[in-house]
C-alpha cells in the first residue's frame, strides 16, 4: 500500500475569537482527523481585517505549519516585515513584482516535501496578475522538486474557483478555495486526482454574517451606509477540509469537509 500524508486545511480565521478558537481547539481536532500537517488561512485574524505578527505567532504556536492569506493581508503595516522574513507566511503569489513577501513555500511533512502555493482571484477582487498563468508557472517549477502541491485559491467567484480546480487537476494534490467564509458542500476528487473544495469556510463566529455582526450587516443593507463590519461576539466554529494524498505520486485519495465547535 502506498504511503499517504493527511493534511488539515482550515478556512479564514476571523478576529480574536477565531484565533482563540484555533488555539483552544486545533490540537484536538488535528489529532482526531490524524493530520500530519495543518495549514491555515489567517488573513482576517486581526479584528476581521488583516493579520498582526502577534496573531501569526499564535497560529503557528497552535500548530499551523503554513499560514496563507489574501487581499486583506496588506491592512496591517506592522506585518509587512514578517511577510519578507517568515517563509511559512504567504501572501498571494500573483501580486505584481515588488510587493512584500512571497507566495509559495515548501515544508517537510513526514519526510516528504509539500509545496504550498497561495493565489488570488480577479473577479470582484483587487487587480493582480493572472492567477492561472502564475499558478501554472509555479506548479511547473514545484513539480521539479515534489509532486505534493497544495493550492489556496483566495477568490470570490465560484466559477473562477472551479475553473482553477479543473485547470490544475492532475498537476497538484489539492486546490482549496478561501475568502467567502461560507463552507461549500462540494468536496470531491477531480477526474485526474486533485482534491477540491470551492470554499473551506471560516474559523470564527458561527451565528453571524460571514463572521461579522448581523445587526451591522442588515443595517448596511437597509440604509446603504458605509458601515464598518465588526466581528460577531458569538461562539466560534472551526471549518475546513481534511484530505489524504499519496506521498509518491501526489494524487489525492480522499477529501472531506470538517467543522467543529470551538472548545472556548
Cα–Cα distances (Å) from 89 to 24, 68, 118, 242, 252, in that order, read 21, 6, 10, 20, 24
C-alpha cell at 42: 489567517
Q: What is the pLDDT of residues 58-100, one digit of tens each?
A: 999 999 999 999 999 998 999 999 999 999 999 999 999 889 9
**pTM for this model (two decimals):** 0.92
Closest CA to 171 of 251, 57, 62: 251
Q: What is the pLDDT of residues 181-231, one digit of tens each?
A: 899 999 999 999 999 999 999 898 888 777 777 788 888 889 998 888 887
Domains and CATH numbers, the chain: 4-261 (3.60.21.10)
Strand intervals (E) in the chain? 4-10, 12-13, 37-41, 66-68, 104-109, 112-120, 149-154, 174-178, 188-189, 195-197, 202-205, 236-246, 252-261
Q: Helix, strand, or coil here: 233?
A: coil
Report the DSSP beta bridge partners of residue 120: 154
Query: Of 72, 154, 179, 181, which is the active-site residue?
Result: 72
Residue 72 among the catalytic residues: yes
Q: What is the pLDDT of residues 114-160, one digit of tens each?
A: 999 999 999 989 889 999 999 999 999 999 999 999 999 999 999 99
Amino acid at each position: 500500500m502506498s504511503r499517504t500524508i493527511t493534511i488539515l486545511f482550515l478556512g479564514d480565521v476571523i478576529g480574536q475569537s477565531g484565533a482563540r478558537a484555533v488555539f483552544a481547539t486545533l490540537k484536538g481536532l488535528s489529532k482526531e482527523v490524524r493530520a500530519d500537517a495543518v495549514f491555515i488561512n489567517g488573513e482576517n485574524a486581526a479584528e476581521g481585517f488583516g493579520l498582526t505578527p502577534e496573531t501569526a505567532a499564535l497560529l503557528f504556536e497552535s500548530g499551523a505549519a503554513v499560514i496563507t492569506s489574501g487581499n486583506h493581508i496588506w491592512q496591517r503595516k506592522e506585518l509587512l516585515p514578517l511577510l519578507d522574513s517568515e517563509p511559512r507566511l504567504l501572501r498571494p503569489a500573483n501580486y505584481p513584482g515588488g510587493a512584500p513577501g512571497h507566495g509559495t513555500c515548501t515544508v517537510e511533512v513526514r519526510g516528504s516535501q509539500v509545496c504550498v502555493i497561495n493565489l488570488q482571484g480577479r473577479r470582484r477582487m483587487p487587480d493582480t496578475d493572472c492567477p492561472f498563468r502564475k499558478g501554472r508557472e509555479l506548479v511547473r517549477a514545484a513539480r521539479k522538486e515534489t509532486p505534493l502541491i497544495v493550492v489556496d485559491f483566495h477568490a470570490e467567484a465560484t466559477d473562477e474557483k472551479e475553473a482553477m480546480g479543473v485547470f490544475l487537476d492532475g498537476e497538484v494534490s489539492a486546490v482549496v478555495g478561501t475568502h467567502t467564509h461560507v463552507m461549500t458542500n462540494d468536496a470531491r476528487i477531480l477526474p485526474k486526482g486533485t482534491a477540491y473544495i470551492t470554499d473551506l469556510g471560516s474559523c470564527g463566529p458561527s451565528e453571524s454574517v460571514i463572521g461579522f455582526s448581523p445587526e451591522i450587516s442588515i443595517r448596511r443593507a437597509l440604509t446603504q451606509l458605509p458601515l464598518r463590519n465588526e466581528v460577531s461576539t458569538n461562539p466560534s466554529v472551526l471549518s475546513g477540509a481534511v484530505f489524504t494524498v499519496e506521498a509518491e505520486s501526489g494524487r489525492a485519495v480522499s477529501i472531506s469537509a470538517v467543522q467543529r465547535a470551538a472548545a472556548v
